[in-house]
Copies of this chain bind each other. A is one copy, B any other.
Amino acid sequence: MSTAPDREAWGLMLELLFSHHRPRVWGIAAEFDLAPMQMFALKALEPGRELPMSALAGSLHCDASNVTGIVDRLESRGLIERRSSPEDRRVKMIAVTEEGQRLREQIAARMSEPPPPIAKLALQDQRELRDIMARALRS
């Protein structure tokens, strides 16, 4: 007998995650002198698309009260800015600055580098993995 294949696959993904990805996220954030959540917030803010604080909280899966601090720190470095909303004066829209956009791209380039176990797979396996993951996320 054996475990269900989805559980086995997921277990292996968790292993990769914990042994390679987790430490790397911290390393990349440190390279750019950012805390991980600040980095994730920057990633969530696509250029040209303002987001209300509440949406940012949703995207980061954390409470709105945290976002105040995270946004404070990014704003004090000139990477993002708070703008008023013309529709509802309670909400504040967050947008990346030009400097934030440049940093954002550098981070994306580093994060998208696959960890060694994935990079060393045979090309055919890489293609198959990509296709399976695409099917998983499409449904």
Query: Which residues of chain A have a CB within 8 Å of any CB of chain B?
Result: 4-18, 21-23, 26, 40, 61, 111-115, 117-123, 125-130, 132-137, 139
Which residues of B lie under 8 Å from residue A132 when comparing CB positions? Answer: 121, 125, 128-129, 132
Pick the residue among B12, B128, B135 that contacts A134 (CB under 8 A).
B12
Query: Is there contact, CB below 8 Å, between A129 and B9?
Result: yes
User: Given A61-B23, A132-B125, A136-B121 in contact, is the A114-B15 Cβ separation under 8 Å?
Assistant: no
- From B4, B13, B123, B128, A13 is in contact (CB under 8 Å) with B13
Contact assessment for B114 and A7 in the assembled complex, using a CB-CB cutoff below 8 Å: yes
State the CA gap A13–B23 with chains docked (Å).
16
Q: Give A122 to B114 CA distance when docked, in angstroms.
A: 25
Could you tell me if B16 and A130 are in contact, using CB atoms closer than 8 angstroms?
A: no
A138 and chain B: residue at smallest CB distance:
B117
Task: Provide the residues of chain B in CB contact with A139, threshold 8 Å.
Answer: 117, 120-121
